[in-house]
Amino acid sequence: MYQIDFHTPSHIYFCGIGGISMSGLAEILLKKGFRVSGSDMRASSLTEHLADAGAQVYIGQKAENITDDIDCVIFTAAIHQDNPEYMEAERLHLATLSRAELLGQLMLNYACPIAVSGTHGKTTTTSMLSEILMAADFDPTVSVGGMLHSIGGNIRIGNGPHFVAEACEYTNSFLSMYPKVGLILNIEEDHLDFFKDLDDIRHSFRLFAQKVPADGLLVINGDIAKYEQVIKDLPCRVITFGTDSSNGYYPLQISSRGERGMAADVMTPDGAVTISLQVPGRHNIYNAMTALAAADALEIDREITLAALHHFEGSERRFEYKGSFNGVTVIDDYAHHPTEITSTLTAAADCPHRKLWCVFQPHTYSRTKALLDDFARALSKADAVVLADIYAARETDTLGVSSRDLCDRIQALGTECYYFPDFTSIEEFLSKKCIHQDMLITMGAGDIVKVGETLVQK
């Protein structure tokens, strides 16, 4: 594997530079004096920011973008071997690294790398822990998979020894990381276009846990089925959190304050503390418990930790208030897995509203097909559901599944459900159907956020 010399800046090219993670890594290298170039299929605020910071950004991926003065080309899992830039890099015999391999090499430059993994909750928990480290004046470097308002984006470059990053299991990316502190929030079926089944996923998390050194720490959800298989004979310290007293951290009681957030009395190894959050949803109490456990292990003062959690205002696309139209409250959320959908709609149920509308854009054909009935049950927690076409992302094969199939399943459960093939039709329908005091949630990992933004701007 090619090793980047971070003491001797070179020319690094990012294929897919506008991605949320790739753009952050590109910015880190820019700040370290590297010459950075790259391409993306479309311009965005992230590509514009990088161009302003000194990167050479190409819109459109073409073979001519790859020149022989490039020292290394970085690819994401979404780039296939028939990509023209990939093919040209191969033809020129240029060194290549995956995004995860670059992130892993960056981690080695820090005394305390922290990797946050799990099927759900990575962005929020990474953001919470980052807020705690900043409040404690640890001056961390942060790479988060969403836009965090307190750092003005998805990246923060600090001078301290801590590097906090999300660790995604897809294509086993997180196995390229070198965490001193590892967090495992949950393990569920997902990315079944790569993994064979849940046991295969659990095995990968086991390999991730084994990356933590003997003098390191693993914080893991003790409610994970067969979690003992993940932690068996690990040399590092292991701390668990979960729903009951078999764990080191668990809630004594949880209460909702509606749109004003959540509160919980949480038992820790040192006694009970009260967590107060400004973000809604029971799931966020568990995210906060994970961050608290990690912060305790890093010997951060409890008062600082609890204050940072209380002041945390969420990150972009995580139950984010977008505005209103005709007295209708518009929320946007990144949820694209049945468990995430259930958590988000449960949180919404605690907020004042007349009727709860969920506009959902399924993400990838493989996920939709594998979890079709689970999606139907989760979405049925809304009063009414509106479906957009499936967002294909990296996939080209429809696998014989469509949003119409999901619509049929939801209607069979007795929930009001509609399907429209384009955003304009969805917006016209909602502008007529949603009335004063309704709540509308746009939901999914694609571009469904545009529907709510358009309605708010009208």
Convert the pLDDT of each residue in 204-233 to its tens digit.
999 999 999 999 999 999 999 999 999 999
pLDDT, residue 446, reads 87
Q: Distance (Å, rounded) from C-alpha 175 to C-alpha 101?
A: 9
Tokens 């390191």 correspond to what residue? 216
pLDDT in tens, 16-26: 999 888 998 99
Over the range 84-106, which residues count as b (16 or more CB within 10 Å of their CB) and which as e?
bbbebbeeeebbbbbbbbbbbbb
Within 259-359, where are the H helices?
282-297, 302-311, 338-349
Catalytic residue (one of 27, 166, 189, 320): 166
395 belongs to the catalytic site:
no
pLDDT in tens, 30-86: 999 999 999 998 899 899 999 999 999 999 999 999 999 999 999 987 788 889 999
pLDDT in tens, 271-293: 999 999 998 888 899 999 999 99
Return the closest-CA partner of residue 335 out of 295, 285, 371: 371
pLDDT in tens, 143-154: 988 888 888 888
Catalytic residue (one of 122, 180, 322, 381): 122
pLDDT, residue 190, reads 84
Q: Is the Cβ–Cβ distance between 168 and 78 less than 8 Å? A: no
Q: Which of 98-102, 211-215, 301-305 has the lowest mean pLDDT?
A: 98-102
Return the closest-CA partner of residue 172 out of 145, 129, 202: 202
For the cut 70, the answer to whether the pLDDT of residue 135 exceeds it is yes
Return the closest-CA partner of residue 162 out of 179, 177, 149, 148: 179
- Give 276: exposed, middle or buried? Use CB within 10 Å, 0-12, 13-18, 19+: middle
The CB density around residue 287, as the number of other CB atoms within 10 Å, is: 30
Q: Distance (Å, rounded) from C-alpha 260 to C-alpha 4?
A: 46
122 belongs to the catalytic site:
yes
pLDDT, residue 259, reads 67
SS3 string of 21-70?
A: HHHHHHHHHHHCCCEEEEEECCCCHHHHHHHHHCCEEEECCCHHHCCCCC
123 belongs to the catalytic site:
yes
Q: Distance (Å, rounded) from C-alpha 76 to C-alpha 21?
A: 9
Helix axes 372-379, 338-349, angle to 10 degrees: 0
First CA to last CA across the chain, in angstroms?
52
Return the closest-CA partner of residue 363 out of 384, 383, 338: 338
For the cut 90, the answer to whether the pLDDT of residue 308 exceeds it is yes
What are the tokens at 359?
């506009």
Does the predicted model carry a pTM greater than 0.95?
no
pLDDT in tens, 403-456: 999 999 999 999 999 999 999 999 999 999 999 999 999 999 889 999 999 999
β-bridge pairing 217-221 and 181-184: parallel
Length of the chain in terms of residues written: 458
Q: Which of 180-189, 250-259, 352-361 has the lowest mean pLDDT?
A: 250-259
Over the range 215-235, which residues count as b (16 or more CB within 10 Å of their CB) and which as e?
ebbbbbbbbbeebeebbeebe
pLDDT, residue 321, reads 87
Among positive and negative, which fits the CA dihedral 153, 177, 54, 96?
negative
For the cut 80, the answer to whether the pLDDT of residue 260 exceeds it is no
Share of residues in the chain with pLDDT > 90 (%): 77
With bands split at pLDDT 50, 70 and 90, how would you rate the model's confidence at 393? confident
- Give 152: exposed, middle or buried? Use CB within 10 Å, 0-12, 13-18, 19+: exposed
Which residues lie across from 416 on neighbouring strands? 384
Return the closest-CA partner of residue 276 out of 223, 312, 248: 312
Question: What letter represents residue 377's amino acid?
Answer: R
Return the closest-CA partner of residue 261 out of 217, 210, 321, 174: 321
pLDDT in tens, 88-97: 999 999 999 9
With bands split at pLDDT 50, 70 and 90, how would you rate the model's confidence at 256? confident
The CB density around residue 181, as the number of other CB atoms within 10 Å, is: 22
Q: Is the Cβ–Cβ distance between 42 and 61 less than 8 Å? A: no
On average, the pLDDT of the chain sits at 93
* E strand or H helix at 127: helix 122-135
With bands split at pLDDT 50, 70 and 90, how would you rate the model's confidence at 192? confident
Catalytic residue (one of 123, 124, 329, 415): 123
With bands split at pLDDT 50, 70 and 90, how would you rate the model's confidence at 458? confident
